[in-house]
Chain A
Amino acid sequence: MPFDPTIAAIRFGMGLSPTIAPPVSVADMLARLAGPDTIAAEFPIPTYKDVYPSPLDYLDATRALNAARGTDDEAAADEQRRQVGQDGGEAMLSFVKADLNRAAHTEDGFRERLVRFWADHFTARSTKGINRHLVSPYIEEAIRPFVMGDFAEMLIAVVSSPMMIWSLDQHQSMGPNSRAARNNVKGLNENLARELLELHTLGVGSAYQQTDVRELAELLTGVYANVQEGGVFRPARAEPGAERVLGVEYGGGEVASIEEVNAGLRGIAIHPDTARHLARKLVVHFITPTPDGGLVDAMAARYLEDNGALMGMYGVMLEHETAWAPDALKVKQPFDFIASSIRALGVSRDEIMNAEKGVIRRSIQRPMTVMGQTWQRPVGPDGWPEEEENWITPQGMAGRITWSMQMPRTLLDRLPDPRDFVFTALGPKPPEAVLFAANAAETVSDGVGLVLASAAFQRR
């Protein structure tokens, strides 16, 4: 099966666009990914380190309010704290818009897809109302810079990120024999260690035992986060002595350090089971629910050969013939459905940027919830499900059909002609039935809506 630009844009990118040409080859796709991240520069999202309001901003405002209680300044301090909360909501809104604009206007769609794939692989859920807007900054800091690099570096960035630390309770974990534990009843919390092995690296049912979970949890002690400093390493919380994870000894230095933890993470990252788990997940996400064993093996082998670099593994996937099979076996998740619709409709940067809060709620966030994907709030640390049956439910389909029929005209002053739009959205060879429907619809908005609601557009 040869490379196909339409499939490249739809299956491995953010979809077709009336103004942006699809990639011309696998080499072209990989070159764009290896090049500068221009779309992120154009629509910036702050990293956790730089974000306003930060958890510390909330804390400061709360402290100011507590100090002002009963004084003349109380009302002003109360107002100030409310403002910080409101700013968090505004920040989140701006991140939704930035993500939409990146998806709608990028020439490097594979990067956007990989960012969402890895952000889901390393799902960090907000654990407090004040963290709700901090998932995007987490992704910007710990995921996005690494999607074309080494998996181990991404893993290290994730494990030292306060959002992941809080999300999986690592801040509550301390070595039972650590100095910090002497004055404290707290002990080891295995949550991060277990998810790290089960979800992030080797994969469930692979070559690790409960003792590996425990040893890894001990190795991770000292990894900590607080509001003031973000992610930090606290030697006083670290369990003394070396730990043996998957047969390799880590740590045991005189003073525990983050380097010992990172050495362990690097070791786990290039375990053969990790290679297979990551390869399989990529194929399941991008190509098919039933991956070709040979492809998974080849990708895993390349990953190990490259010492955990991701680019080579992506290349093996994209060079494989199943990548270009004409049958579209995956369904777009709700965000990608909406974002690729906006891209196909050619909604401009400014229209997205200047959209009011209510418009984004009504046209993006609420419909996503109806379709089963509340913005950045999957129910568990294992992220969003891959199975198409999970998304194409009666309610999910009601959401997709209604969005297709209603939203384009609220986002655009002038809808495209459905007879052209069917080619813009689906490429030069749309299915006969969709072509027929686009021409037979009684209104322009029905015609556009039918194209977007079609399985041909919803699949990739």
Chain B
Amino acid sequence: MDRRKFLIGGTALGCSAAASPFVTPVAMAAAPWDARLVVIILRGAMDGLDVIQPYGDPALAGLRPTLFNGNAADLDGYYALHPSFEPLRPLWNTGEFGAVHAVSTPYRDKRSHFDGQDILEAGLPNLTSGGLRDGWLNRMLQVVPGLEPEVAFAIGREQMLVLSGDAPASRWSPDARLTISPNARALLNVVHHDDPLFRDASDEAIAIAEQISLEADLAEETEVMMAQSPMMETVSRGGEHVKIAEFAASRLRADTRIASFSINGWDTHARQSNGMRNVARALTDTILTLKAGLGPAWDKTAVLCLTEFGRTARENGSGGTDHGTGGAMLFAGGALRGGQVIGDWPGLGDGDLYAGRDLLPTRDVRAHVAWVMRGLIGLDQAVLEQAIFPGLELGPNPGLVR
């Protein structure tokens, strides 16, 4: 059955999940794999040393006299969790939330947000030899022929380089509204009748907008599922990040397999404890919303939270931290082996810091991402090391995927 004809009827909208413009009546045709991958870009550089605090390292207290204040509760005997991330502790306990520490992209020394994010999203070893054209998630889609655009979704206001490129991907922003009277809508069909590109895009736009504005079944279903989840009691509803997570969950329950969006605000140069509270809230809300909204699909889901670089090991004079190098990748999802902090800890002692100031990265974070993609989707080592992450050595399996 032609999906678009199915939609043009209009009456089918909102009747069942199958009426979503992204669910083809032919089951599971969109992608040859079933796992879900959510990539969240934490823009501004998350302070991994504050979120996952290595309190077992004797040097930490001296470096961070106010940030390291004993409020963080133990995770595993060496690391402790920032109190604002406590809403995720139940997931830690069930092995659905964890971290990789002392990692970074190959970006070094310049510590610019823009360049750091470009390198993170492009998945390249550097920008010095040019070639900034597409993102690694898009290159992953490029190696699988014949995917439908709805397999991958970039969500939110931000341009997501990580998902940009030649492979088709969908985009949706909570700013995107469609306001059109029923009469004008009928006339628009007439106007676009002979131009298939405009006709199909308009039909889909109208279908999505109706679905969103009418809070059709997928969204309602998300609501119901979230109401049933006790952890959601801590989530403040209505924030934009929650809307984005709800939208992502509704897509991922259907044919979408990859979703990517950003959470901004991690650039905590001053009064970090305040800034961290707000931004941690956004991230914990997002992860809990995804879990609740995904329902059974959560078990097949990997959520990776990546940031452009870490922050200085020492706190600065204004209760914050400055741009650094090594940091942490947070992860969640039933497909991953949480309840652990993975990584080769380099230490925070005098001679241990990178350039005398930053946490030393002991592994390329791209390797962890690549191992997740390999575990979830079964991509070849050569594809990962050459096409998706040029210059990467995959190295030993860190054991992230269940």
Contact = CB atoms under 8 A, between A and B. Distances in A.
A459 B197 CA distance: 11
A389 interface: yes
A271 B159 CA distance: 35
B197 A450 contact: no
Interface in B168-195: 168, 170-173, 175-181, 183-184, 187-188, 190-195
B184 A449 contact: yes
B128 A446 contact: no
Contacts of A168: 130
Contact of A455 (B157, B198, B208): B198
Contact of B208 (A125, A370, A398, A456): A398
A406 B178 CA distance: 10
Given A379-B164, A401-B178, A437-B188, A394 B170 contact: yes
B183 A454 contact: no
B169 to A, nearest CB: 10
Interface in B90-128: 110, 112, 114-115, 127-128
B29 to A, nearest CB: 19
A315 to B, nearest CB: 31
A32 B345 CA distance: 67
A441 B183 contact: yes
Contacts of A312: none
Interface stretch (B199-207, B216-224, B248-256, B301-309): B199-207
Nearest to A377: B159
Contacts of A370: 173, 175-176
Interface in A137-159: none
Contacts of B230: none
A434 interface: yes
A440 B132 CA distance: 49
Chain B interface size band reads 35 or more
A127 B198 contact: no
A189 B115 CA distance: 14
Contact of A434 (B131, B133, B191): B191
A401 B188 contact: yes
Contact of B201 (A126, A198, A394, A406): A394
A196 to B, nearest CB: 9
Q: What's the dominant secondary structure at chain A's contact region?
A: helix
B157 to A, nearest CB: 6
Contacts of A213: 129
Nearest to B199: A455
Contacts of A402: 176-180
Given A393-B201, A405-B184, A169 B127 contact: yes
Nearest to B197: A392
Interface in A370-415: 370, 372, 374, 377, 379-382, 388-389, 392-399, 401-402, 405-406
A394 B159 CA distance: 16
Contacts of A401: 178, 180, 188, 202, 205
Contact of B115 (A127, A406, A441): A127
A257 interface: no
A436 B198 CA distance: 18
Interface residues of A, number: 55
Contacts of B205: 394-395, 397-398, 401
Contacts of A194: 129-131
B383 interface: no
Contacts of A436: 187, 190
Contacts of A125: 114
Contact of A169 (B128, B183, B187): B128
Contact of A398 (B110, B191, B209): B209
Contact of B159 (A189, A198, A374): A374
Interface in B143-172: 149, 157, 159, 161, 164, 168, 170-172
A447 B349 CA distance: 70
A307 interface: no
A215 interface: no
A128 B117 CA distance: 12
Interface in A426-455: 433-434, 436-437, 440-443, 446, 449-450, 453-455
Contact of A446 (B110, B159, B184, B190): B184
B195 A455 contact: yes
Contact of A195 (B130, B157, B190): B130
5 contacts: A380-B134, A395-B208, A401-B180, A434-B191, A441-B183
Top 4 closest pairs, chain A to chain B, by CB: A194-B130, A394-B204, A398-B205, A397-B201
Interface of B: 21, 110, 112, 114-115, 127-134, 149, 157, 159, 161, 164, 168, 170-173, 175-181, 183-184, 187-188, 190-195, 197-198, 201-202, 204-209
Given A377-B159, A396-B201, 15 more contacts: A125-B114, A172-B110, A172-B128, A190-B128, A379-B161, A394-B204, A397-B205, A398-B176, A399-B176, A441-B187, A443-B181, A450-B187, A454-B188, A455-B195, A459-B195
